[in-house]
Chains A and B, each alone.
Chain A
């Protein structure tokens, strides 16, 4: 399958009412790459996707390119994009096979070629034997598989997903996410995937664009986004994050925070430091950086989340193995290794070390 790169240049979108859905935006998706657009509701994910698909045009000045080709003026039916929608958008008047073959028939392929391709994609999405089923006789997961098969049947240059799994229950969502990931790798196709589910974004994206109010807040690999967020918005939006205010910088460049002192040579002069709950280690009192009291423990099954009171009404979230039971008011010692501490505007700590420490 020949995949193509996608380039957006200065693509903004202002709706007639004056509502700015998207500020002028530059974005490149490499050929064969899966880019995930992630962000809270209303941040412009769907709008970006629709500009790429051709369902929406960018404001004047914006350009959309597939490879070298400028497709800004082309309507969606001439862009060779496959789309998978949140509500499946399957044709209720057709059978499963007719839905999947729709694009092939539109292309005017010979009957035999259609039959062969149909068999091929139905095997790909594990739908053999469903040919004559009506759409309303399918479960949600099966419907989304039909939608996927229909989109890939025509061998599009680009695959676009708009929250394809958000109408499904958690278990099914996990399974289909794996299947979609596998399919995208197999097809080696350029894909843009919109979601507001960060687990989905992490699992599927080669890169993630975190969007905020019509702008891209950060565009990087999942690892980078998670461990080196460049804004507090991104740090907060992806996973949980602790913020500790720095009360003073001591002579040996140690930072005084509520509950103790931290060693963070790469974070000089910051007003606060950040860390992920799972990076905080529980240690004995004498080797602890911070001391506090357990306020509450939340059992999550595979782990537990402790809320630690560090005094000065500062609270720290810690994620730890779930066997040991913690009582409220129990004293606890914590260690925060330097590489676990970060600040969105200050990334002096070498990326290499980050990877080795967290991979």
Chain B
């Protein structure tokens, strides 16, 4: 009876996984077949991947640059912001924490429109990739603040800081030597979200991009709309090849950080 239930659960899980993974595999294969309409018999090729690289390499670099800069900025802004929220005893601190969820609830298109209305007239800025960066930081910042704040709450930070202060550490030394190292777990969890969200972000970016500033997902949409199916699929392949290792590395770093800290 128990065995049977186990096998039922196992097969259900496998079916669900297949349901999600099969389309991905098909898409990847499509990017590697010579002619998708003929099928696999037409043979495997890297031609499409090379062609995508020739056409869209700059979108890939831009996406990486955006994601990393965005990560840098969200850490730089998010960790002190979380610390501020942690320390603030005022009532509005709670309200701000709730408001952090807003960018997730507001459609990206609306955020982008607001940015265009506010800064669209500043031509140099509007045409540079920094404009898209602002959108990404707005969108991803809460995903850095929330996990960091959660870890800070659990870490008895106040006591640790008092101990550090009694040993002569000033605010800067305490913040960098005690606060930040003790919320590394939260920063890594946040980093995972920020990087994946930034690389995959489409709504805001699509509104804000210019022909010279296309990110990977925007290029992807472009290729789906105007190119051969094989090229779009090869593009997907490159996207996966970029993000999967990144995710694995950040997950692993998070596990490592947790193991060395918690009992």
- Measured between C-beta atoms, what is the minimum distance from B187 to chain A in Å? 12
Partner of B182, one of A92, A102, A150: A92
B164 partner residues in chain A, CB cutoff 8 A: 91, 102, 106
Whether B182 pairs with A93 at a CB distance below 8 angstroms is yes
B168 partner residues in chain A, CB cutoff 8 A: 77-78, 80, 103, 106-107, 154
| 28 examples of A-B residue contacts, CB within 8 angstroms | A75-B165, A77-B169, A77-B170, A78-B168, A81-B166, A83-B163, A85-B159, A85-B163, A89-B159, A89-B162, A89-B163, A91-B164, A92-B155, A92-B182, A92-B261, A93-B181, A102-B164, A102-B167, A103-B168, A106-B167, A106-B168, A106-B169, A106-B173, A107-B168, A134-B260, A136-B261, A136-B263, A154-B168
Which residues of B are at the interface with A, using a C-beta cutoff of 8 A?
Answer: 155-156, 159-160, 162-170, 173, 177-178, 181-182, 184, 260-263
- Measured between C-beta atoms, what is the minimum distance from A232 to chain B in Å? 37
10 new A-B contacts at CB < 8 Å, known A87-B159, A91-B160: A75-B165, A77-B169, A80-B168, A83-B163, A89-B156, A93-B260, A102-B169, A134-B260, A154-B167, A160-B166
Chain A at the B interface: mostly helix, strand, loop or mixed?
mixed
B181 partner residues in chain A, CB cutoff 8 A: 91, 93
A81 partner residues in chain B, CB cutoff 8 A: 166
- Measured between C-beta atoms, what is the minimum distance from B249 to chain A in Å? 21
**In the complex, A160 Cα to B165 Cα: how many Å?**
13
Which residues of A, 28-78, contact B by the 8 Å Cβ criterion? 53, 55, 75-78
Chain B at the A interface: mostly helix, strand, loop or mixed?
helix
**In the complex, A75 Cα to B173 Cα: how many Å?**
15
A136 partner residues in chain B, CB cutoff 8 A: 261-263
- Measured between C-beta atoms, what is the minimum distance from A300 to chain B in Å? 37
Tell me if A151 is interfacial: C-beta within 8 Å of chain B. Answer: yes
- Measured between C-beta atoms, what is the minimum distance from A299 to chain B in Å? 40
Whether A53 pairs with B173 at a CB distance below 8 angstroms is no
Whether A91 pairs with B162 at a CB distance below 8 angstroms is no
**In the complex, A134 Cα to B260 Cα: how many Å?**
8
- Measured between C-beta atoms, what is the minimum distance from A157 to chain B in Å? 12
B260 partner residues in chain A, CB cutoff 8 A: 93, 134
Whether A87 pairs with B156 at a CB distance below 8 angstroms is yes
Whether A151 pairs with B165 at a CB distance below 8 angstroms is no
**In the complex, A75 Cα to B166 Cα: how many Å?**
9
**In the complex, A286 Cα to B175 Cα: how many Å?**
76
**In the complex, A319 Cα to B150 Cα: how many Å?**
54
Tell me if A214 is interfacial: C-beta within 8 Å of chain B. Answer: no
- Binary CB contact string for chain A from 119 to 138 against chain B (1 if under 8 A, 0 otherwise): 00000000000000010100
Partner of B162, one of A55, A93, A107, A154: A55
Whether B166 pairs with A83 at a CB distance below 8 angstroms is yes
Which residues of A, 158-213, contact B by the 8 Å Cβ criterion? 160
Lowest 3 CB-CB distances: which A-B pairs, in order?
Answer: A103-B167, A136-B263, A89-B163
